[in-house]
Amino acid sequence: MKKLLCAAGLGLALAASAAQAADKIAVVNVSNIFQQLPQRATVAKQLENEFKGRATDLQAQERAIQAQMQNLQRNGSTMKASERSSLEKDIMAKRQSFENKAQAFEQDNRRRQMEERNKILSNIQTAVKKVADDEGYDVVLDTNSVAYAANSKDITADVLKQVK
């Protein structure tokens, strides 16, 4: 009987503490904050300028390859076999070089975008932590990962003010 009473008391205490902890839960919409940040546009412009030269070079290289291919299609039937073969090999080599450069460009661009995105998200995370500490929240959940939250405080606006 003592064990049953002790277990019931412990269960009641746990239920009360869980209910008390539920009062200190907030939600934040991180993607909304990310979309509204002016730093995002600045970073996008910076990355565009960083990769502009390489993108222009790739476009010029692609146009040159297309011009050679059109030349081959127009004049291929009147060329000597050795000239045609040489031109085809040249086009294939340039095409392979272009594809390698384009792939490296895409990888570098994607890596830099992720680096900058992670910096911004880190700033948002710091702001979320500060707002949560200032307002005394124990748990802050992203609204995109919560199916339902009835009595939770949305601190998105407070975090957005903190990050800006």
Q: How far apart are CA 54 and CA 62, in angstroms?
A: 12
Phi, psi of 140, deg, nearest 5 = -125, 125
Q: What is the pLDDT of residues 100-131, one digit of tens each?
A: 999 999 999 999 999 999 999 999 999 999 99
> Does residue 6 form part of some domain?
no
Say if CB 149 and CB 141 are below 8 A apart.
yes
> Does residue 152 form part of some domain?
yes
Q: What is the pLDDT of residues 15-47, one digit of tens each?
A: 445 545 456 889 999 999 999 888 888 999 999
> Does residue 2 form part of some domain?
no
User: Range of 94's domain?
Assistant: 25-162
| Average pLDDT of every residue of the chain | 84
> Does residue 16 form part of some domain?
no
**Alpha-helical regions (H) of 23-37:** 30-36
> Does residue 127 form part of some domain?
yes
> Does residue 20 form part of some domain?
no
> Does residue 106 form part of some domain?
yes
Q: What is the DSSP letter of 153?
A: E
The domain tally of the chain equals 1
Q: What is the mean pLDDT of residues 3-20?
A: 44
What pLDDT is attached to residue 6? 39
What pLDDT is attached to residue 17? 52
pTM: 0.68
Q: 142: domain CATH number?
A: 3.30.910.20
The residue among 132, 60, 123 whose CA lies nearest residue 97 is 60
Q: How far apart are CA 100 and CA 129, in angstroms?
A: 43
Q: How far is CA 3 from CA 8, 10, 15, 19, 142, in A?
A: 8, 10, 18, 24, 41
Which pLDDT band, with edges at 50, 70 and 90, does 10 fall under?
Answer: very low
Q: How far apart are CA 146 and CA 31, in angstroms?
A: 13
> Does residue 14 form part of some domain?
no
Which pLDDT band, with edges at 50, 70 and 90, does 157 fall under?
Answer: confident
